[in-house]
Copies of this chain bind each other. A is one copy, B any other.
Amino acid sequence: MEPKRKTTIYDVASASGVSASTVGAVLNGSWAKRRISKDLAERVHAVATSLGYRQNRQASALRTQRSGLIGMILPLHDNRYFSSLSQAFEAEARKRDLCPMVVSTLRDPDMEKRTVATLLSHNVDLLFIAGATDPDPLSRMCADAGIPHINVDLPGSLAASVVTDNYFGARELTRHLLIRVGNPAPATLHFIGGIPTDFNTMERVRGFRDVLIAETGAPPQPDQIDTCGYGPDEAERSVRELLDHLGALPDGLFVNSTIAFEGVFRVLKELPDDAFRGLSVGCYDWDPFLSHLHFPVAMVRQDAKALIEKAFRVIDDNTFGISQMHLIKPELLLPTHSPEKT
């Protein structure tokens, strides 16, 4: 199998006895506009398919300055929320006949920059910056290259941003936790997980706090908020310390991600059943199996599809350059009937 050269418009041209420009026009659909007869167009098409012609997008892109690529960077693939962003992103990209390039940057600002540079080098027509820890320098890079871009999931100040309304979601979840507890004013809820400097975490903490103030009359004590990081191990340690300190479980737990929840669960599963009586647990982010534990868990589910669709609508509206935050409401999933043993 020799490295057969791919067939080009020139091959098609000489095989069908017309000029290359005519073939080009026929094959990219502009033939009518270029007053090429329908007859010829059909003949050329036939020859092209018989030769197995396939357009070379590099050549096309080089000339037209449009690659047909659309990029997105995100922290991780291996995560329910982010992978659902990818899936939604791809669906929308396909609708627009763009080829998606989704690359993860592992929450590393430097890798974010390098990755954006790479994507710009490949001349993506559009760039989605999802969950970037440091979006503004990336915005600047895109602006320099003249590439439309938009922030998703985490806002930036130099371009439009489409983010989950985490303040709303946190309020909903906190309110639910309080109600489950039975609403006696001095209930103590604890917030666990996330990074204190992360915008989303800050918004969630703000929602948590505001509801506590409104409903119990007092702000949470500093030790009620432990933004101990992402990762199950930190969360596990945090809950163990909490147990040690309180001598028992608090009235409720607001866990800031499914990953943190894993760590929390490692502790909870060791406890006897009666330790859970009246415990109110919520998780910000969704996992189907969390509704199947031996105690009820309320969850907040972010709407990846809506986020992506809104972002594309902002792109289509040509308002992506305006630094504005578009909020998408998440959904509060109440615990399904818990499998309390009879």
| Chain A residues in the interface with B (C-beta under 8 A) | 1, 3-4, 6, 52, 54-59, 61-62, 67-69, 76-80, 83-84, 86-87, 90, 99-104, 117-123, 143-146, 262, 265, 269-270, 272-273, 287-290, 292-294, 321, 339, 341-342
Kindly provide the distance from the CB of A284 to the nearest chain B CB, expressed in whole angstroms.
16
The chain B residue sitting closest to A64, CB to CB, is B58
Interface of A is mostly: mixed
**Which B residues are CB-close (under 8 A) to A121?**
54-57
Across-interface contacts of A86 in B (CB, < 8 A): 77-78, 83, 104
Q: A294 to B57: give the CA distance in the assembly, Å.
A: 54
Could you list 28 examples of A-B contacts with CB < 8 Å?
Answer: A1-B321, A4-B144, A6-B146, A52-B144, A54-B120, A55-B121, A57-B58, A57-B123, A58-B58, A58-B61, A59-B62, A62-B62, A69-B122, A77-B83, A77-B102, A78-B86, A79-B83, A83-B86, A90-B104, A99-B118, A99-B119, A99-B122, A102-B102, A272-B342, A289-B293, A292-B293, A293-B294, A341-B341
Residues of B within 8 A of A287 (CB): 289
Q: Which has the most chain B C-beta neighbours within 10 Å: A52, A117, A269? A: A269
Residues of B near A56 (CB, < 8 A) are: 62, 121, 123
Of the residues B6, B55, B265, B288, contact of A292 by C-beta under 8 Å: B265
- How near does chain B come to A121, taking the closest CB pair, in angstroms? 5
In the complex formed, the residue of B with least CB distance to A62 is: B58
User: Does B77 contact A145, Cβ atoms closer than 8 Å?
Assistant: no
Query: Cβ of B102 and Cβ of A273 under 8 Å apart?
Result: no
Give the distance in Å from the alpha carbon of A59 to the alpha carbon of B57 in the complex. Answer: 11
Is there contact, CB below 8 Å, between A103 and B103? no
Smallest CB–CB gap between A281 and chain B, Å?
13
Q: Measured between alpha carbons, how far is A117 from B342 in the docked complex, in Å?
A: 57
Contact B288 A57 (CB under 8 A): no
